[in-house]
């Protein structure tokens, strides 16, 4: 019995000595940039990180193939532009030029006869050498434009797309417009701004509205309309009478 106890004691001491003499992995500190998981997988050895070589940088050139002579996308965009140009040209033909400058400082209204396929609803206001025209027609595709004429708008022989700064009631926005020949004065041009819908046009009409157009840094049109409520009510009634 004594030998057994002594043997157990000796084994216990030996086990404790082994434990105390075993390095503690948790306290092992590797140099900065060194991986503690070495190749011997002991958790003790440290090896330097092997960073992969940097990837070579290339300057990529535009390798896209040139557009073919016939491209459906190009043909479609050209067709859209042509249709839009025709659209604007037709709008000019249905404008009532006499009414655009008939009575200064007052609204002038034009409603197409019942047998006219264009079914135009047109309201214009002219004052101080410049005017504004609000036009809506369901002919072909729905045609809704906000137009400006007079002032110093330069003449043009064919429809062009231009970028203009339009200021209304102190709010300025740079928008695209159509620069078209004037139906009032051949020595001037007109600007037509496409409006998304009849309702958008009606909701944008304020009772009193000032406007300024700047093209290429130069002021070309400036004016103000009054009694816009009457124009909005008339246009709304005109649209309802034609059935939309």
Residue 44 resides in a domain: no
Q: How many other CB atoms sit within 10 Å of the CB of residue 215? A: 19
Of all residues in the chain, the percent with pLDDT exceeding 90 is 25
Print burial letters for 170-208: b (CB count within 10 Å at least 16), e (below 16): eeeeeeebbbbbbbbbeebbbbbbbbeebeebbeebeee
Residue 123 resides in a domain: yes
Mean pLDDT on 121-130: 86
Mean pLDDT on 165-184: 89
Mean pLDDT on 136-146: 76
Residue 230 resides in a domain: yes
Residue 97 resides in a domain: yes
Range(s) of the domain holding residue 127: 73-241
162-171 pLDDT, tens digit each: 999 999 988 9
Higher pLDDT, 34 or 212: 212
Residue 51 resides in a domain: no
Residue 47 resides in a domain: no
pTM over 0.95: no
* CATH code for the domain of 170: 2.60.40
Highest mean pLDDT of the ranges 84-93, 103-112, 186-195: 186-195
Residue 52 resides in a domain: no
Least confident of 74-78, 183-187, 190-194: 74-78
Residue 185 resides in a domain: yes
Q: How many domains does the chain have?
A: 1
């Amino acid at each position: 019995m004594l030998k057994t106890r002594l043997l157990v004691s000796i084994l216990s001491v030996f086990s404790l000595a082994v434990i105390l003499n075993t390095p503690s992995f948790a306290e092992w500190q590797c140099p900065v940039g060194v991986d503690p998981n070495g190749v011997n997988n002991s958790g003790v050895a440290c090896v330097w990180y092997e960073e992969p070589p940097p990837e070579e940088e290339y300057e990529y050139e535009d390798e896209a193939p040139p557009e073919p002579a016939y491209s459906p996308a190009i043909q479609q965009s050209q067709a859209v532009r042509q249709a839009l140009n025709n659209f604007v040209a037709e709008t000019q033909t249905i404008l009532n030029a006499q009414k655009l400058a008939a009575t200064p400082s007052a609204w002038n209204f034009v409603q197409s006869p019942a047998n006219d396929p264009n079914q135009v609803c047109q309201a214009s206001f002219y004052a101080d050498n410049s005017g504004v025209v609000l036009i809506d027609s369901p002919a072909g595709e729905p045609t809704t434009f906000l137009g400006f004429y007079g002032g110093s708008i330069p003449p043009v022989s064919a429809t062009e797309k231009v970028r203009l700064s339009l200021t209304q009631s102190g709010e300025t926005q740079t928008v695209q417009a159509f620069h078209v020949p004037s139906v009032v004065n051949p020595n001037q041009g007109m600007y037509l701004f496409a409006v998304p819908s009849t309702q958008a046009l009606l909701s944008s009409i304020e009772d009193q509205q000032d406007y300024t157009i700047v093209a290429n840094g130069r002021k070309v049109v400036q004016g103000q309309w009054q009694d816009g409520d009457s124009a909005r009510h008339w246009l709304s009634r005109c649209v309802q009478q034609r059935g939309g």
